[in-house]
């Protein structure tokens, strides 16, 4: 039995595949955070290399991979497709399980697939420096590697909590010549504002992005690189799937199911991740362990450190403005998936504010209580750096309460406004329960409208 498929360098794709022309409807692009109009290529010329901007907006189905990029790809590509036969035996399954192993790249992940491209185009245009953000350090490592290949200085703003927790990631970036800063820093106005309010801020991916963007815009010889979220990143990552298709043909099989890792969306859309260990006992699934603070972590948010239980199915992020939103709903009559975008727009424009008249908000207790309600309109947002918000939104309304106790809504008469108010009253009546008093539970979900499954819920 063939255990792995290794392609030759001659099999390396010479084009990336762009899915946008093949979608049933044309997806709207992000909005300019200043004008709130659809983002245009000219809005990004001071921030990104011209070819990267071209990749972001192109409607061409196929985009040629430059020969110099292919030469670098050949350091580790094509990556192997491996038959996981021992996993098959452990699961006692008749299924054939394969995995595409991207850990053979110099930085140990799939992220150099786009980092090399962005560094190449920046160098071709005469840039001397690159700036970027990183959470755990995977993306920062990839860009540090790519920058070294093309003689670029790389400045990485790493979320402070990860900077302190993961010293070896920092060392890896530095070994490729990058400068790594614990964000928030005193180097940018965004960082200084955060530190003035909270000198011990652990940072966030939103803050790190803000600092990297500010750094890039402060110098003419610098470009910004982003490792997820953007269309151009998804384009560059299609090299994985193009190789895998050829490898599956060699195996004489075609996959029934494809499972991808998901974070900021550079490998899969939509972004839904559930961190839980589930075992089937007597034909029934049982939660054996949950992670991230003792409860389920499920999120498609662009923030790397969100630990709110929930099922996020749509999100929007404003770059360079550090604001984002994740919603747990998607209307059937919304083929363009604009729910998150419109909800965030309403909370950022002409917003109604009012103080929460209760005691100081215990955020860990409040967010777990709100999530445990299982409301399908649950919404989480970050409207200001280092300040999260949780609430309720619909296709036409939105309201949230922030960590500082400020309640925000699209209007004083918003239908969504009454919902977090009622949640807060119920939370107070319950005695502000601690997160550790909840236990995970699986509830059967089979309404006959779709495939049967299970809901992951928290209960007390």
Q: How many structural domains are present in the chain?
A: 2
CATH number at residue 33: 3.40.50.1100
* Better pLDDT: 91 or 370: 91
Longest dimension (CA), the chain: 68
Share of the chain above pLDDT 90, in %: 52
Task: Give residue 111's pLDDT.
Answer: 95
* Final residue belonging to a domain, choices 176, 206, 232: 232
Residues 365, 296 share a domain: yes
pLDDT at 279 over 90: no
Residues 398, 454, single domain; the answer is yes
Residue 343 in contact with residue 379, Cβ under 8 Å?
yes
Average model confidence (pLDDT) across the chain: 83
The per-residue pLDDT for 36 is 65
243 part of a folded domain: no
- Report yes or no on 261 lying in a domain: no
Residue that is last in its domain, among 178, 213, 232: 232
Q: Report whether pLDDT(44) > 80.
A: yes
Number of other residues whose CB lies within 10 A of the CB of residue 78: 25
Is residue 179 domain-shared with residue 281, that is, in the same domain? no
CA 343 → CA 131, 138, 258, 271, 310, distances in Å? 30, 31, 31, 18, 18
- Which of 175, 207, 232 is a domain's end point? 232
Whether residue 90 is found in the same domain as residue 184: yes
Residue 294 clears pLDDT 50, i.e. is over it: no
- Please indicate, yes or no, whether residues 210 and 318 belong to a single structural domain of this protein: no
Host domain of residue 124? 4-232
Please state, in angstroms and rounded to a whole number, the distance separating the CA atoms of residues 118 and 113.
Answer: 9
Check residues 308 and 104 and name the one with the higher pLDDT. Answer: 104
pLDDT per position as a tens digit, 212-261? 999 999 999 999 999 987 899 999 999 999 999 999 999 999 888 887 76
Same domain, 394 and 331: yes
CB 47 within 8 A of CB 216: yes
Question: Do 62 and 200 belong together in one domain?
Answer: yes
Tell me, yes or no, whether 265 lies in a domain. Answer: no
On whether both 213 and 282 belong to a single domain, the answer is: no
User: What does pTM read for this prediction?
Assistant: 0.63
Say if residue 144 is in the same domain as residue 47. Answer: yes
pLDDT digits (tens, 9 = 90+) for 101-119: 999 999 999 999 999 999 9
> Are 16 and 136 members of one domain?
yes
For residues 209 and 354, membership in a common domain is answered with: no
Instruction: pLDDT band for 455, please (50, 70, 90 cuts).
Output: low
Q: What is the pLDDT of residues 338-391, one digit of tens each?
A: 787 888 888 888 789 998 888 888 887 888 788 777 777 888 888 876 678 889
At 422, list the tokens: 């009622």
Please say whether the beta carbons of 378 and 328 come within 8 A.
yes
Q: At what angle do helices 50-57 and 231-251 cross, to 10 degrees?
A: 70
38 shares its domain with 146: yes
């Amino acid at each position: 039995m063939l255990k792995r498929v290794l392609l030759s360098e001659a099999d390396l794709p010479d084009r990336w595949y762009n899915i946008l022309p093949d979608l049933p409807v044309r997806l709207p692009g992000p909005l300019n955070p200043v004008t709130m109009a659809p983002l245009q290529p000219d809005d990004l010329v001071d921030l990104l290399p011209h070819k990267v901007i071209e990749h972001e907006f192109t409607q061409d189905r196929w985009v040629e991979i430059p020969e110099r990029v292919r030469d670098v790809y050949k350091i580790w590509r094509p990556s192997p497709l491996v038959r996981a036969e021992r996993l098959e035996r452990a699961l006692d399954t008749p299924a054939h399980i394969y995995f595409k192993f991207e850990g053979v790249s110099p930085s140990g992940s799939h992220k150099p697939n786009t980092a090399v491209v962005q560094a190449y185009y920046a160098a071709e245009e005469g840039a001397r420096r690159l700036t970027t953000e990183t959470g755990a350090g995977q993306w920062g490592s990839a860009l540090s590697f790519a920058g070294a290949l093309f003689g670029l200085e790389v400045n990485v703003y790493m979320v402070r909590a990860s900077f302190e927790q993961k010293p070896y990631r920092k060392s890896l970036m530095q070994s490729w010549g990058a400068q790594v800063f614990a964000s928030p820093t005193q180097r940018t106005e965004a960082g200084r504002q955060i530190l003035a309010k909270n000198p011990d801020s652990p940072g966030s991916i939103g803050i790190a992005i803000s600092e990297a963007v500010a750094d890039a815009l402060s110098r003419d010889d610098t470009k910004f690189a982003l490792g997820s979220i953007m269309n151009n990143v998804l384009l560059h990552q299609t090299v994985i799937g193009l190789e895998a298709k050829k490898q599956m043909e060699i195996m004489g099989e075609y996959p029934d199911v494809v499972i991808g890792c998901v974070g900021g969306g550079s490998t899969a859309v939509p972004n839904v991740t559930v961190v839980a260990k589930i075992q089937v006992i007597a034909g029934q699934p049982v939660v054996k362990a949950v992670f991230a603070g003792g409860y389920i972590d499920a999120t498609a948010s662009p923030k790397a450190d969100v630990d709110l239980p929930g099922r996020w199915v749509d999100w929007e992020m404003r770059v360079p403005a550090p604001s984002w939103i994740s919603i747990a709903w998607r209307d059937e009559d919304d083929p363009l998936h604009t729910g998150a975008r419109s909800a965030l727009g309403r909370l950022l424009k002409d917003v109604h504010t009012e103080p929460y008249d209760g005691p100081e908000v215990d955020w860990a207790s409040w967010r777990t209580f709100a999530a445990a309600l299982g409301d399908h309109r649950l919404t989480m947002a970050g409207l200001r750096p280092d300040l999260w918000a949780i609430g309720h939104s619909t296709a036409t309304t939105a309201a949230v309460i922030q960590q500082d106790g400020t309640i925000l809504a699209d209007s004083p008469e918003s239908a969504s406004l009454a919902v977090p108010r009622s949640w807060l009253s119920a939370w107070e009546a319950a005695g502000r329960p601690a997160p550790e008093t909840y236990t995970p539970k699986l509830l059967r979900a089979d309404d006959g409208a779709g495939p049967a499954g299970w809901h992951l819920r928290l209960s007390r």
